[in-house]
């Protein structure tokens, strides 16, 4: 609804000014839309911007297709206000099930996220990747795109060689009830310590990596067993976070099916290719001075070569290829993106996110210095359970536990997705355990309140008459939801959705406080109930897109 009005105002302004760009912005407190085009015209028309704005306002006010839009000049600014018909239509659309779903798109999208090395559990840094990626995935589906979500599973890296060696030589048993990925991490940390004491083991690690590259069945099997075990635990954590993947892509498959060899053969014909003891690409012509090494002197392929094969495959099978990567991948991401076009393949769109560190410094799986996602979930769940128990002591334990689990995921996902990815953050327990404003549970709470009102109201006729400040602000905000979904997928910025949902909850809470629903009468009552239903529906759709449960009661 907002988009239609925006287009209409834009067309009218373009017609009246002859300008292509009419400098439309959100009007903030002043208007629903505003234009500063008068400043731009002041020079060419040699008149004061105030005068131009006044003239334009008069001209537009006389247009026949203005509808319920009101236009006025406030100094040099042209302000547009939307009227009753807009409010009515906005609320009407927002009560439809599935509100915000955009028309079906033909472009097939593949989105890769998380893809953490399977040598230990996901930690609080990895889940920033998961949550940004999964929220984007949900937004793409909401925006009508056919989508596949992938996890690129490294089953042939050095870390995995170390784990497999650890399993074979250290004899570490899995503890009772120990989660698979935590067990793998314990073996990995122990193996690293053992290697530090006896540097001779490095040779054995190198030997295993060569065997895997050659496809030695026994070694491949050992690697895969270790990776599968760890992935089992990682999948459990992902499921708890409401993150999901359609496909796990095994890195070694690109060697096994010959894609890596084919890529390197194609690369050899490039003028930028160099073959001495290693095989590498010279990217200095695009400003990357670093050698992009694809094959080692011992003949084995480097990660970069497998990555090229993987992205070539994705580029051929999908129209948009999106990767979510940590900021530490910026250089190799740039190398990958610069190299693919050289062989006529499409580079991916990459969303980088900066690091999450601990107050005492950066995290390290190898050193065993990290807060695992599982530990975070456990701590937050315990706090959530306390909260639920103190607020709703009458509920059965089972139900309280279910609410606590939902609140936990809401708190964790929202805390992470609300921050722009470019900002590095320091993990803070106090913030993680805060369920007040600007939190996921705060938005869930607004939704539960709306549900509670509707439940008490029973049957009612829909009506759309709005006059109070809070009703109008709410109706106008509802209209923007589809635009936000569109913007999130266009700009790959999921935090916009987090901000939108919080603003909607803020507006609803103010409305809830000032405008009684159940105690009002006649058309006011039914109009407000209709508005509450529209808010309930839009919050539910927003929360779902954020991967958060829209609880009916909490």
Partner RNA sequence: GGGCUUGUGGCCUAGCCAGGACAUGGCGUCAGCCUCCUAAGCUGAAUGCCGGGGGUUCAAAUCCCCCCAAGCCCGCCA
In whole angstroms, how close is the CB of 173 to RNA at the nearest point?
27
- Closer CB to RNA, residue 4 or residue 298? 298
CA-closest candidate to residue 112, choices 231, 246, 240, 241: 246
Q: How many residues does the chain have?
A: 554
- Closer CB to RNA, residue 89 or residue 433? 433
Q: Which of 355, 375, 401, 544 binds RNA (CB under 7 A)?
A: 355
Are the C-beta atoms of residues 396 and 553 closer than 8 Å to each other?
no
Are the C-beta atoms of residues 117 and 154 closer than 8 Å to each other?
yes
According to CB under 7 A, which residues from 265 to 284 bind RNA?
Answer: 277-278
91 binds RNA (CB under 7 A): no
According to CB under 7 A, which residues from 110 to 129 bind RNA?
Answer: 117
157 binds RNA (CB under 7 A): yes
Are the C-beta atoms of residues 404 and 384 closer than 8 Å to each other?
yes
CA-closest candidate to residue 114, choices 287, 273, 265, 230: 230
Binding mask 201-220 for RNA (x = CB under 7 A): --------x-----------
CA distance 94 to 29: 23
51 binds RNA (CB under 7 A): no
CA distance 118 to 457: 51
468 binds RNA (CB under 7 A): no
In whole angstroms, how close is the CB of 342 to RNA at the nearest point?
19
Strand 320-326 to strand 70-74: parallel, antiparallel, or no bridges (unpaired)? unpaired
- Closer CB to RNA, residue 47 or residue 423? 423
Q: Which of 69, 293, 412, 463 binds RNA (CB under 7 A)?
A: 293
In whole angstroms, how close is the CB of 411 to RNA at the nearest point?
8
According to CB under 7 A, which residues from 6 to 35 bind RNA?
Answer: 23, 25, 27-31, 34
Binding mask 159-188 for RNA (x = CB under 7 A): x-----------------------------
Helix (H, G, I), strand (E, B) or coil at 155: coil
Helix (H, G, I), strand (E, B) or coil at 118: coil
CA-closest candidate to residue 315, choices 248, 270, 269, 259: 259
Q: Which of 424, 461, 467, 523 binds RNA (CB under 7 A)?
A: 424
Are the C-beta atoms of residues 79 and 72 closer than 8 Å to each other?
yes
Q: Which of 456, 458, 459, 521 binds RNA (CB under 7 A)?
A: 456
Please count the residues of this chain forming the interface with RNA, following the rule CB under 7 A.
Answer: 94
CA distance 444 to 449: 9
- Closer CB to RNA, residue 33 or residue 89? 33
According to CB under 7 A, which residues from 478 to 497 bind RNA?
Answer: 491, 493, 495-496
In whole angstroms, how close is the CB of 308 to RNA at the nearest point?
12
- Closer CB to RNA, residue 93 or residue 337? 337
CA-closest candidate to residue 208, choices 149, 142, 164: 164
Neighbours of 364 (CB within 10 A): 12
Are the C-beta atoms of residues 366 and 186 closer than 8 Å to each other?
no
């Amino acid at each position: 609804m907002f988009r239609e009005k925006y287009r209409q105002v834009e067309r009218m302004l373009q017609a009246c000014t002859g300008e292509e760009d009419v400098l439309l912005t959100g009007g903030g407190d002043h208007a629903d839309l505003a234009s500063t085009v008068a400043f731009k015209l002041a020079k060419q028309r040699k008149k004061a911007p105030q005068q131009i704005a006044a003239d334009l306002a008069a001209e537009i006010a006389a247009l026949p297709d203005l509808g319920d839009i009101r236009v006025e000049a406030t100094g040099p600014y042209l302000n547009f206000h939307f009227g009753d018909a807009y409010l009515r239509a906005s609320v009407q659309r927002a009560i439809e099930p599935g509100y915000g779903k955009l028309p079906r798109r033909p472009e097939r999208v593949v989105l890769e996220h998380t893809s953490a090395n399977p040598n230990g559990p996901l930690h609080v840094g990895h889940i920033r990747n998961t949550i940004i990626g999964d929220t984007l995935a949900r937004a793409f589906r909401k925006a009508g795109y056919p989508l596949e979500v992938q996890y690129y599973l490294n089953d042939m890296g050095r870390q995995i060689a170390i784990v497999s060696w650890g399993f074979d030589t250290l004899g570490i048993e899995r503890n009772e009830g120990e989660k698979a990925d935590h067990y793998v991490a314990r073996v990995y940390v122990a193996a690293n310590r053992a290697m530090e004491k006896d540097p001779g083991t490095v040779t054995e690690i190198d030997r295993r990596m060569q065997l895997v590259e050659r496809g030695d069945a026994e070694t491949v099997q050992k690697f895969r067993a270790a990776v599968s075990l760890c992935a089992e635990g990682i999948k459990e954590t992902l499921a708890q976070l409401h993150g999901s993947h359609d496909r796990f892509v095994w890195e070694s498959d690109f060697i096994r099916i010959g894609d890596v060899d084919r890529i390197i053969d194609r690369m050899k014909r490039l003028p930028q290719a160099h073959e001495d003891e290693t095989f590498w690409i010279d990217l200095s012509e695009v400003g990357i001075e670093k050698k992009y090494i694809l094959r080692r002197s011992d003949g084995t392929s480097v990660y970069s070569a497998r990555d090229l094969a993987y992205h070539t495959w994705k580029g051929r099978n999908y129209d948009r290829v999106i990767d979510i990567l940590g900021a530490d991948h910026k250089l190799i991401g740039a190398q990958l993106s610069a190299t693919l076009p050289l062989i006529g393949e499409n580079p991916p769109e990459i969303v980088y996110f900066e690091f999450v560190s601990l107050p005492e410094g950066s995290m390290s799986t190898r050193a065993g210095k990290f807060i695992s996602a599982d530990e975070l979930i456990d701590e937050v769940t315990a706090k959530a359970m306390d909260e639920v128990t103190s607020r709703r002591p009458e509920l059965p334990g089972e139900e309280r536990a279910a609410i606590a689990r939902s609140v936990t995921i809401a708190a964790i996902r929202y805390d992470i997705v609300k921050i722009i990815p470019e900002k590095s953050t320091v993990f803070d327990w106090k913030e993680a355990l805060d369920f007040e404003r600007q939190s996921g549970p705060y938005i869930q709470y607004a939704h539960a309140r709306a549900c509670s009102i509707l439940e008490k109201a029973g049957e009612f006729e829909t009506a759309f008459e709005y006059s109070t400040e809070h009703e109008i602000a709410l109706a106008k905000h509802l209209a923007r939801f589809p635009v936000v979904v569109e913007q999130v997928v266009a700009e790959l910025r999921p935090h916009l959705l987090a901000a939108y949902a919080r603003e909607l909850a803020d507006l609803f809470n103010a409305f809830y406080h000032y405008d009684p629903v159940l105690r009002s009468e006649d058309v006011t009552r039914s109009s407000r109930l209709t508005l509450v239903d529209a808010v309930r529906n839009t919050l539910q759709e927003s929360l779902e897109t954020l991967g958060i449960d829209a609880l009916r009661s909490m």
